Structure 1
Amino acid sequence: MHDAPSMLVPVLLTLAAGASYLVLAIRQHAGPRGWSLWRIALFLTGCGLLILGLSPRALPYAEGDFRRHMLQHLLLAMGAPIGLVMAAPVTLLLRTLPSRYGRVVTATLRTPVLQAITHPVVALVLDLGGMAGLYFTALYTAMMQHPVLHYAVHFHFIAAGCLYTWVIAGPDPAPHRPSVPVRLAVLGAAVVIHSVLSQLLYAGWHFRVATSVLQRHGAAELMYYGGDITEMLLAFAMVSTWHPRQASPAQASKACAVSV
């Protein structure tokens, strides 16, 4: 079992994305509407975590150690997406693009396909389903033997993580996004499923990766506690941006009249 293939191209793409965001954000920050410095810091942090996850030799575990792969998974699929998504890159893009191109982006967000995959349950299945498929099928072994498949799996982790984060707590526009109670219920289900998967991994139930018991237990603990931390951050991000709908003055007067 060899280590990950060279990630030079993904790292360069990440650096390019970070530089592009920084240039656009600085322009907006200097403009009349401004742009939050916190969002800039979040996006750069997300890029940093992404680069760290794409650079396995910078991680604390030795080459071939299954715990290193699990740490990569947590950085790519759970840590980096929080920073990238909470930085509101789509909103920044819509502010920067000419209006005719902005309407194209908005229309794309409203397409039936995108609306289907942005349902919280679908996003949850894509996110945690990929994890389960990797560790409890022969996919992991195949991935370590075929570099192209390795790239594809990492891309899926990043894309599914960003999608799930955006659907649950993202500040960017998301047409037909369910209410906060619905998203909290999905987040609660994710906590339970993530915990069950980590415990199955710890027990070695249908586990399809050739590794030592010590590494398997360590990876399961990383999955368990790392998942708890990121899901708590998601919950905090969601409720901190929740603005309960208030009744209009006319509705309030009508309610008072009915109560009297």
Structure 2
Amino acid sequence: MHDAHFLLTDFLFSISAFLAIALYIGAVIITNRRGRLRKWSWLRTASFVAGVLLAAAALVGPLARLSHADFTAHMAGHLLLGMLAPLLIALAAPMTLLLRFLNVRLARKLSRLLQSPFIGFYTNPVVASVLNIGGLWLLYTTDLYSAMHSSLLLHIIIHVHVFLAGYLFTISLVYIDPVFHRFSYTYRTVVFILALATHGILSKFIYAYPPTGVPIEEARNGGMLMYYGGDAIDLLLIFILFRHWYQSARPLRVGKAV
């Protein structure tokens, strides 16, 4: 990519990050002033801001530029954009905030949209996993990885997909926002385990068979970062999923004891 392309992507992604943070904080301020509901958690706000900033760090600035020349840096950006940032943003419950912010008529329309089969299809853990992990297999085992470094449009599309697929995958496993198409903890856990295994296999595949144009040492470093860094972030997802599972089962245990 040329310097002009970097300037354009820096502008687009920076503006998007700024608008996302401004809209979220603005919605928090307005809903808190209404006083009808409990004050919005500052931890959720901090989580959203941190998530957006981490995503922006993968797309704008030194890391984004270095990732075009160094595969290890690219993989660090992948972990931020496709895994950690989506998790932090999901924990910020943006849909819940939006429902609080909207008037009753618009909130009902949004609720109907969330209940639609279209949303239910894409938030199915299996579908979300295929979009997320399958997309990575397609990126790193074909010429798509090298092609995105010479095409501005492809560069933007792939990075947007990585973030959205990572976010869909996260919210399909852990329910923070209102969920109208719910799946059992057992089902979500089984799909999660399979996704973890597939992600791990891909990292080992990259280690042994580098993507087109990637030097072997960079591929090995990037593969190891993907494997161990991905596991570290997945541990957070596992903790949240199992904590929710434990909390949902706890009243049943108390009832049995009585």
Q: TM-score, normalised by structure 2?
A: 0.89
Between stretches 149-158 and 223-232, larger displacement belongs to 223-232
Deviation at 1:142, TM superposition (A): 1.6
Question: Given that residues 61 and 67 in structure 1 are in contact (C-alpha distance below 8 angstroms), is that contact kept between their aligned partners in structure 2?
Answer: no
Question: Given that residues 122 and 128 in structure 2 are in contact (C-alpha distance below 8 angstroms), is that contact kept between their aligned partners in structure 1?
Answer: yes
Question: Partners in 2 of 1:226 and 1:103 — Cα distance?
Answer: 40
Give a deviation string over 1:154-197, Cα, whole Å, max 9, x none: 01001101111111113011222211121111111121111111
- 1:233 paired residue number: 236
Q: How does 1:1-260 map to 2 (within 5 A)?
A: 5=6, 6-30=9-33, 31=35, 32-58=37-63, 61=66, 64-204=69-209, 207-242=210-245, 243-244=247-248, 246=251
Question: Given that residues 13 and 60 in structure 2 are in contact (C-alpha distance below 8 angstroms), is that contact kept between their aligned partners in structure 1?
Answer: no
> Which stretches of structure 1, 4 residues or more, deviate above 6 A after TM superposition?
1-4
Q: What SS class does the counterpart of residue 27 from structure 1 fall into?
A: helix
Q: Residues 2, 9 of structure 1: CA spacing in aligned structure 2 closer, same or farther, 3 A cutoff?
A: closer
Q: Radius of gyration: which is bigger?
A: 1
- Give the counterpart letter for 2:16 in structure 1: L
Q: Residues 62, 227 of structure 1: CA spacing in aligned structure 2 closer, same or farther, 3 A cutoff?
A: closer
Question: Given that residues 86 and 163 in structure 2 are in contact (C-alpha distance below 8 angstroms), is that contact kept between their aligned partners in structure 1?
Answer: yes
Give a deviation string over 1:137-160, Cα, whole Å, max 9, x none: 111122111100100000100110
Percent of matched pairs sharing the same residue: 36
Give a deviation string over 1:99-156, Cα, whole Å, max 9, x none: 1101111111111121111110110010001111000011112211110010000010
Q: TM-score, normalised by structure 1?
A: 0.88
Between stretches 49-58 and 137-146, larger displacement belongs to 49-58
Pairs aligned (count): 250
Unmatched tracts of structure 1, length 5 or more: none
Cα root mean square deviation, aligned: 2.3
Deviation at 1:208, TM superposition (A): 3.3
Question: Given that residues 49 and 76 in structure 1 are in contact (C-alpha distance below 8 angstroms), is that contact kept between their aligned partners in structure 2?
Answer: yes
Deviation at 1:62, TM superposition (A): 7.0
Question: Partners in 2 of 1:162 and 1:72 — Cα distance?
Answer: 15
Q: What SS class does the counterpart of residue 145 from structure 1 fall into?
A: coil
Deviation at 1:240, TM superposition (A): 2.8
- Structure with bigger helix share is 2
Deviation at 1:75, TM superposition (A): 1.0
- Give the counterpart letter for 1:135 in structure 2: Y
Question: Given that residues 71 and 214 in structure 2 are in contact (C-alpha distance below 8 angstroms), is that contact kept between their aligned partners in structure 1?
Answer: yes
